[in-house]
Structure formats: C-alpha cells, structure tokens
C-alpha cells in the first residue's frame, strides 16, 4: 500500500492494548469536540487509536491507522518516541513534523507528545496535533491549554454537558451527566440523544432539529429552556437547559449545558400547595365569619380541603349519633365511596381512622394503610381502594365534636404543612359548629326569657289591676268614715284617718305606675317617625302650671325626627323635665334640652342646674320605686325614671345620667333617627 501507512499485523484490529476505545475516555470526545486531532500510541510508536479529527487530517481510516507505526506517517526521520518522551517528562514535548496523507499530500503539523499515566505497566503516549500551525506560529500550546482547561471545568461542573452532532449522536458527555441522568458518559457517547429524551417528546425534538438544520429557525429559546430528561431508571427529571452550536471541519455540533431543576420544581410545588392551602383557609375563615349556615360551610370545607390536598375524599364525622350501631355520623363529605363511609362509622370497626384519631386526641397521618399498625383493621378500607389518609380532631381534644378525615387512593407521603392545613381547617369547622350550638342555646334562652317576661308582665298587670278594686274600697270607706264620724273623732283619730287616706293615695299612685310600667312593651304603639320638637311643645304645655309656679327658664336646641312611639316619648320628656323642675333646689330652675348626632343614633339630653345626684346612686335611681329622698322633702313614687328607662330600651336606646351633688344633672338617652330601617321588636 503505497498511499497508506505500511500495514502491520494488528492493522484493522479494533482491540486495543488496554482493551478500551478512545470513546470510553471522556477525553477523546472532548478533544474531538474541541477540534483537536489526537492519536494514541504505545510507547514504541504503534498507533492504538485516533479520533475523528486525526482521521480526517491524515485521510486514513481509523482501522488503517490502528496497529501502524506512527513513524511511517512522517516524512522526516523521527527520533524514537521513547527518547522524545522521557519517562520523567512532566510536560508535553512539541515538535514540528511533515505528515504524509492518504492523498499523498504533505502537511506540516506541530504535535505535542505526552506520556500518559496508565494503570498497567505499559506506558502510552498521546499526540495532540496543531495542524494549522506554521513553524513560526506558537498558538498550539494555548490551544492545548484550552482543551485541558475545558476538561477540568467539564469534570468539576455540577451541570451536565453533552455535545451532539447533527444526527443527535452524542459526541461527549461530562461526569455530571451520570449524576443527573444515571448514564455513565462512556455509555452515552456514540449513542443517540433521543435516549435521554422522554419518548413522548422524541419526535418533537427530531422535528425541531430538522427544522433548524433546514431553515435556521429555533423553536425553543436556546438561552434557557426547561424540558424533562429521561433518567436511565425510566423516570423523568426536570432540566434547565442552555444550548449553543459550533462548527468544526465543516461539521456542525451542538453543545447543551443542563441542570437538574427538580429541587427547585419541588420547592415550587410545595410553595404552590402551601399558597393554595392558605388561600383555602382564608376563604373558609371569611366564609365562616360572614355566613351563618354551618352545613354550607362544612360542604365548602370538605370540597376545598380535598382539592387543596389533591385527594379524592374528605369527610366531617360527627361524634354524636343517635344510632346504637354507629360510633359516628357523616356530617358532610365529598368524593367518598358510600362503602368506605359505612365501614368507618360503624361502632364495631374500632380501628377506623376517625376512631383512632379521637382516641389519640391528635392528628393521625397514615401514609399506607397496608403497613400502618395504628389502624390495624384496615382491610375493609384497602378493599375499597383506600391507601392513605389523615384524621384530625375537630375542636378541643377533651371534648371533640368530631373528626375531619381525608382519604387517598394511593400510598403517599404527607408534608407537615398538609397536616397544619387540616388542623387549621378543623379549627374553623370547630368554631362554626360551636357557634351553631351556641346560637341554638342562645335562641332557646331568648325564647324562654320572652315567655317568662310575658308571664311577668301579665302577672304585674293582673296584680296591679286587681289591687285597684280593694284599694278603691279602702279609700271610699275611709272617706265615708271621715265624712260621717268627723264630729265624733278626736284630733288623733282625724290625723290617723288622714294618714290612712294618704297611704291609700300613695298606694294608688304606685299601682298606677306599676300598671303603666307593665304596659310599656305590650301596649305600646308601633314605632314611626316622630318630630321631637312637636313632642317637646306638647310637654311644655302640659307642664305650664309647674313652669310658671317655679318661674323656670327652659331652653331647647332644635330637636330631630326620631323613630318612636309619640305617646311614650312624650311621657319620657315629661318625666325628665318635671324631675328637672322638681329637683332644682332653691334657685330658679334653668333647664336646657339638647340633641346631638352620635354615630347611628341621636343623643338627647335634659340638663338642669339643680341639686345633683351622688355618682354612687346614678344606677339605682332607674329602678322601680327607688328614691333618694323622703316624701316630706320631695313628692313622688320613684317610678318615673324606671318608666323612662323602659321606654328608651323599647326604642332600642340607652339612658344614663351624669351628675354631681350640687352641680346639676344631665339625663341623656339615645334614640334611632327616623330614617332607620324598621326592626322587629
């Protein structure tokens, strides 16, 4: 063979002295990718392998090269390689040579020769060619350094690097590829890239590559794209990928740098789950606050909980049940098989998840019913397809009204935040159930109170009404006595009769007051707009005599329209004004009536400059028959302010007094404006 290297006994033999191909060395593909023609030799110069770049440089096939002595390729007389590359050489030896190619042309090259460290006894030599170099140029060493730097980087990088040709055949893979996708680089190099692409995406990849090669159009963002890779074990790994291309010897190559983004994806997934769970809790909380319908809340809660945990079935079990066979009642549920629910509520299935949860008094998380010993009798559940679940007590552990349970049809790991979420949902449910029970109790109490109040009113009315008759009898017989026997009575007798008449009159006044008091609620007129200016005018007319007698000065601000019973409001003003005149002390009475809008109500006030009241007595004066003075000092029955309070309360307001002895008093009360919507009272 005059145009090729002299054949040798091992020419064409693909076996190598160390039993490996250069493609087993990441270095070979790397050098290829970096565009460096390389040849591997025994120490005596017999070629064991060469990369594609060296094959195309020389024009000989790889099989022709293998087994051939390197010196036969060289025009010049080459000193023996062994002498060129001494044993102790630590840096490459560079030499300029003229290579004879298969096409009988000459090529000047600069070659770096370096002894390789091998595990066996036999040493090997690698030759790296800088064929573009002219004898005067010395860029070769930087190119060599570049290759080495690239390899060091590629080895150290936690990200995967692969180099592909236009057929998608993998030319190089760095060690990180094995950590990410499970394939040792040697296994990938030479195979097709589609191996590491999930089957469902392979055709799309091939089409996209074809399109790019034909039109230059990129279907994905080469700077950064997220796509799944196919792990050797068969599962997918989410990857963040950056792509680039380069040319070598008129061939196009693609380089891909990729990173396993599963931790980030998992964190995102967890974050998404947490956000969705928090949103559900916020929604449920709002719903519970705004909505009084507990059943609707429970329905909503089971739906939201199942969705937020991505589970099929969610149940609220009630621990109270009327059945002797059942330990629980299903209060609300979503997505659950009836057979599962029936199994779980039965008293006989003592190891049901709600039962175990109540017994534990804390959340029970079952990742697999097959293996979890806390719910040993779970065959009934597993036969109905239930594999996992969580139970949390609703409400305080000591007095739990029920259990919130989710079931899954696959075995599954639950995160702490899943359990926290369920506990929060259970707390909201507990609050709603508690509120419902409380409202029920409250309504019952209100109903009972109304009945008892009505009875009391009837009693007070009947008693005072019926007492009038004997009282009238006492009064008339006293008057008869006085008239008929006045001449026969001595002064003591007359005085005693006077006391008795006076007592009977007082009693009549008190009975009248009591009757009036008992009728405020039951005999009042409906509340409607009332002009208080008009009311005051009427009252002042009624009190004219008293005003004149005391020479009182009464002033008033303009008063509003309120919602009320005109008759009762008239009585209210009359009582307060007559008190203001009555308890004015020695000076000329000066009374002022004022009105002020305070929030949704009107506050009316009657201010006097009279004797005042001790702050300690300001509560008791509103009670029936409570007086601070003797009848000798001030006339009265002590029912006036009690009536005022009853009237104001019937109008939905409050009454109070601000006063100090000797500094006058201000009686204030609130009333609803006329425009207030009607409420049942």
Which residues sit at the interface with ligand ADP, rule CB under 6 A? 575, 579-580, 583, 608, 610-613, 621, 627-629, 636-642, 665
Burial environment of residue 171 by CB neighbours within 10 A (0 to 12, 13 to 18, 19 or more)? buried
Distance in angstroms between the alpha carbons of the first and the last residue of the chain: 121
Q: Which is nearer to ligand ADP, 450 or 614 (CB)?
A: 614
For ligand ADP, give the closer residue by CB, 158 or 662: 662
Q: How far is the CB of 581 from ligand ADP (least distance, A)?
A: 8
Residue with the two structure tokens 């980087």: 153
- The CB-of-651 to ligand ADP minimum distance in angstroms stands at 18
CA distance 566 to 402: 53
CB of 552 to ligand ADP, least distance (A): 12
C-beta of 464 vs 579, nearer to ligand ADP: 579
CB of residue 467 to ligand ADP, shortest distance in Å:
19
How many helical (H) and strand (E) elements, i.e. helices and strands, does the chain have? 19, 22
Q: How many whole angstroms separate alpha carbon 14 and alpha carbon 20?
A: 9
> What does the DSSP assignment read for 605-655?
EEEE-SS---GGGTTGGGSTT--SS-TTTS---S-HHHHHHHHHHHTT--E
- Considering beta carbons, is residue 538 or 658 the nearer one to ligand ADP? 658
Cβ at position 460, least distance to ligand ADP in Å: 17
Tell me the closest approach of the beta carbon of residue 626 to ligand ADP, in angstroms.
6
Q: What's the full length of the chain, in residues?
A: 681
Please spell the DSSP secondary structure of 495-506, one letter per residue: HHHHHHHHHHHH
CB atoms within 10 A of CB 304: 22
Smallest gap from residue 629 Cβ to ligand ADP (A) = 5
Which residue has its beta carbon closest to ligand ADP? 636
Q: How far apart are CA 366 and CA 648, in angstroms?
A: 61
- Of the pair 343, 571, the CB lying nearest ligand ADP is at 571
Q: How far is CA 364 from CA 171, 376, 406, 635, in A?
A: 53, 13, 11, 75
- CA 406 – CA 107 distance, rounded (Å): 77
Q: How far is the CB of 474 from ligand ADP (least distance, A)?
A: 22
Q: Which of 427, 396, 404 is nearest to 281 (CA)?
A: 427
Structure-block tokens of residue 457: 């009113």
Q: In the bound complex, what is the minimum distance in angstroms from residue 553's beta carbon to ligand ADP?
A: 15
d(CA 529, CA 543): 24
Handedness of CA 509, 512, 518, 522 (dihedral sign): negative
What's the rounded Cα separation, in Å, for the pair 245 and 256? Answer: 9
Q: How far is the CB of 609 from ligand ADP (least distance, A)?
A: 10
d(CA 62, CA 602): 106
C-alpha 364/C-alpha 376 separation (Å) is 13
How far, in Å, CA of 51 to CA of 404, rounded?
A: 68
In this complex, which beta carbon is closest to ligand ADP, that of residue 306 or of residue 639?
639
Rounded to a whole number of angstroms, the minimum distance from the CB of residue 434 to ligand ADP is 42
Q: Which is nearer to ligand ADP, 454 or 502 (CB)?
A: 502
Residue number, 127 or 612, with CB nearest to ligand ADP: 612
Least distance to ligand ADP, CB of residue 536, Å: 17
Q: Which is nearer to ligand ADP, 67 or 636 (CB)?
A: 636
**Tokens found for residue 271:** 């974050």
Write down the residue that tokens 């190119």 correspond to. 143
Residue 313 main-chain phi, psi, to 5 deg? -130, 135
Q: Nearer to ligand ADP by C-beta: 518 or 637?
A: 637
Query: Which residue, 624 or 674, has its beta carbon nearer to ligand ADP?
Result: 624
CB of 590 to ligand ADP, least distance (A): 12
Q: Closest CB to ligand ADP among 378 and 637? A: 637
d(CA 624, CA 516): 12
- Residue closer to ligand ADP by CB (options 324, 549) is 549
Between residues 218 and 629, which has the closer beta carbon with respect to ligand ADP? 629
Q: Is residue 361 within 8 Å of residue 426, measured between CB atoms? A: no
**Nearest distance, CB of residue 643 and ligand ADP, angstroms:** 8
- 301/400 Cα distance (integer angstroms): 18
Nearest Cα residue to 155 out of 175, 135, 137: 175
Distance of closest approach, residue 664 Cβ to ligand ADP, in angstroms: 8
Q: Which two tokens stand for residue 511?
A: 């009975």
Q: Measured between alpha carbons, how far is 570 from 647 in angstroms, rounded to an integer?
A: 10
- Would you say 200 or 660 has its CB closer to ligand ADP? 660
């Amino acid at each position: 063979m005059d145009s090729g290297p002299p054949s040798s006994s091992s020419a064409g033999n693909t076996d190598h002295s160390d039993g490996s191909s250069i493609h087993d060395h990441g270095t070979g593909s790397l050098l290829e990718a970096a565009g460096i023609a390389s040849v591997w030799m025994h120490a005596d110069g017999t070629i064991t392998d060469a990369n594609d770049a060296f094959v195309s440089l020389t024009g000989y096939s790889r099989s022709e090269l293998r087994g051939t002595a390197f010196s036969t390729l060289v025009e010049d007389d080459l000193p023996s390689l062994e002498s060129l590359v001494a044993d102790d050489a630590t840096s490459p030896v560079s030499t300029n040579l003229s290579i004879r190619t298969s096409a009988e042309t000459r090529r000047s090259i600069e070659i770096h020769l370096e002894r390789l460290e091998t595990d066996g006894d036999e040493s090997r030599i690698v030759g790296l060619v800088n064929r573009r170099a002219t004898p005067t140029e010395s860029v070769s060493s930087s190119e060599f350094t570049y290759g080495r730097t690239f390899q060091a980087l590629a080895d150290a990088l936690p990200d995967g690097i692969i180099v592909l040709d236009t057929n998608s055949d993998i030319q190089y893979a760095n060690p990180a590829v094995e950590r990410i996708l499970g394939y040792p680089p040697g296994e990938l190099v030479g195979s097709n890239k589609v191996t590491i692409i999930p089957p469902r995406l392979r055709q799309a990849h091939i089409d996209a590559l074809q399109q790019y090669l034909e039109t230059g159009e990129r279907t994905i963002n080469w700077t950064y794209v997220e796509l799944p890779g196919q792990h050797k074990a068969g599962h997918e790994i989410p990857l963040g990928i950056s792509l680039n291309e380069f040319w070598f010897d008129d061939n196009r190559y693609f380089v891909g740098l990729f990173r396993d983004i599963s931790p980030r994806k998992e964190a995102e997934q967890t974050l998404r789950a947490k956000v969705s769970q928090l949103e559900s809790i916020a929604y449920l909380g709002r719903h519970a606050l705004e909505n009084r319908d507990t059943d609707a809340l429970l329905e909503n809660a089971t739906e939201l909980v199942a969705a937020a945990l991505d589970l099929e079935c969610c149940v609220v079990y009630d621990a109270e049940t009327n059945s002797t066979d059942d330990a629980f009642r299903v209060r609300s549920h979503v997505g659950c098989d009836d057979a599962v629910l029936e199994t779980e509520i039965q008293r006989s299935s003592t190891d049901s998840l709600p039962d175990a949860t109540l017994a534990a008094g804390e959340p029970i998380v079952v990742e697999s019913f097959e293996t979890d010993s806390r719910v040993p009798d779970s065959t009934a559940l597993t036969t109905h397809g239930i594999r996992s679940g969580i139970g949390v007590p609703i409400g305080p552990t000591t007095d739990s009204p029920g259990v919130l349970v989710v079931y899954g049809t696959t075995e599954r790991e639950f995160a702490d935040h899943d359990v926290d979420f369920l506990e929060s949902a259970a707390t909201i449910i507990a609050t709603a159930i508690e509120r419902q029970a409380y409202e029920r109790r409250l309504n019952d109490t209100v109903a009972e109170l109304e009945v008892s109040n009505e009875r009391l009113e009837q009693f007070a009315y009947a008693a005072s009404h019926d007492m009038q008759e004997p009282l009238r009898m006492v009064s008339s017989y006293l008057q008869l006595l006085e008239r008929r026997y006045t001449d026969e009575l001595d002064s003591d007798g007359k005085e005693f009769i006077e006391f008795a008449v006076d007592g009977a009159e007082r009693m009549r006044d008190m009975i009248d007051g009591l009757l009036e008091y008992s009728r405020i609620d039951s005999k009042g007129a409906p509340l409607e707009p009332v002009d208080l200016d008009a009311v005051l005018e009427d009252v002042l007319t009624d009190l004219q005599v008293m005003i004149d007698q005391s020479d009182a000065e009464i002033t008033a601000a303009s008063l509003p329209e309120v919602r009320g019973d005109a008759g009762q409001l008239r009585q209210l003003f009359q009582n307060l004004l007559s008190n203001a005149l009555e308890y004015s002390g020695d000076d000329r009475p000066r009374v002022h009536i004022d009105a002020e809008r305070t929030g949704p109500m009107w506050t009316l006030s009657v201010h006097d400059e009279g004797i005042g009241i001790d702050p300690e007595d300001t509560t008791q004066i509103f009670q029936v028959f409570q007086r601070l003075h003797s009848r000798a000092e001030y006339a009265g029955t002590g029912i006036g302010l009690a009536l005022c309070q009853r009237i104001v309360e019937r109008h939905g307001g409050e009454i109070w007094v601000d006063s100090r002895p000797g500094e006058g008093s201000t009686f204030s009360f609130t009333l609803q404006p006329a425009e207030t919507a009607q409420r049942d009272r």
